Amino acid sequence: MALTPTEKRAGSDEAFLREVDDAVRASDLSNFWTRYGRWLLAIVVSGLLAFGGWIFYQQQQQAAADRQSEEFVDAMDKLRAGQDKEARAKLATLAKAEQPGYRAMAQLVEANLLGEDGKTKEAIAIYAKVAGDSSLPQTFRDLALIRQTSAEFDTLAPQAVVDRLKPLATPGHAWFGSAGELTALAYLKMGKENLAGPIFAQIAKQEGLPPTLRSRAQQMAGALGIDTVQVDEKRNAATKAGETAANGE
């Protein structure tokens, strides 16, 4: 079917408009690239360089951690072999390492060795340093605080011991055994046997703690008139009674 002159002109106009539109878009794109192309390219290249740098940094960090792990194991092996001088030299280096975990462990071992040598003040100074270092994992800081308190126990006021270890002397806390025992002993020094006894009993009943610590706590609780076995039986009976009441039996 033949197109009328009007239809031909309309089709021609439409094609012309599309060509103009395409030309305008191409011109806009060309102008945009001329004005901003270099900046965009710089941004893309900078991003790629930053990403590559981050990957390299991660690899370097992992490699450094692996080396420090080997150095720490070697230092411990040398200590067991009686090579104290070589071991302490390695520990001194690790104590300044960037990796916080191995830095903390090296410092704690250093402090323990100083304590064994009778250099209590130097040991306490290192424990205090680790405990106050916010860049270290909390577990190591808590352990350092306990070791510091233990080393200072005879010279600290009992209430200072209680206040210092209060956050850690809580049943279920990772360091409850050690912190709880020191807290209970501090209460005994204050003559507060009514507060010391229950803590010893809780330590004796908490599974996962060293058997020697639990046994010692059980003996202390018994000496203070608390039968931990009897306490457990009463608690279990109370629990069963509560469950029965809840079930409406």
pLDDT of residue 77: 84
Per-residue pLDDT tens, the chain, 249 aa: give them. 554 545 444 455 565 456 555 555 555 555 555 655 555 555 555 555 555 554 544 455 555 556 767 787 778 888 788 888 888 898 888 888 888 888 888 899 999 999 999 999 999 999 999 999 999 999 999 999 999 999 999 999 999 999 999 999 998 898 999 999 999 999 999 999 999 999 999 999 988 899 999 999 999 999 998 876 554 544 444 445 444 444 555
Amino acid found at 225: G
Structure tokens given for 91: 């520990």
Tokens of 106: 């090296």
pLDDT of residue 179: 95
Q: Report d(CA 123, CA 107) in Å as an integer.
A: 9
Tell me what pLDDT residue 22 has: 59
Tell me what pLDDT residue 207 has. 87
Q: How far is CA 24 from CA 27, 29, 31, 34, 38, in A?
A: 5, 9, 10, 15, 22
Domain map (residue ranges) of the chain: 62-152, 157-249
pLDDT value of position 26: 54
For residue 21, the model assigns a pLDDT of 57
In a 3-state reduction of DSSP, which class is residue 3?
coil
Q: Is the pTM here over 0.85, yes or no?
A: no
- CATH of span 157-249: 1.25.40
Q: What is the pLDDT of residue 149?
A: 96
**Residue 37's pLDDT is what?**
52
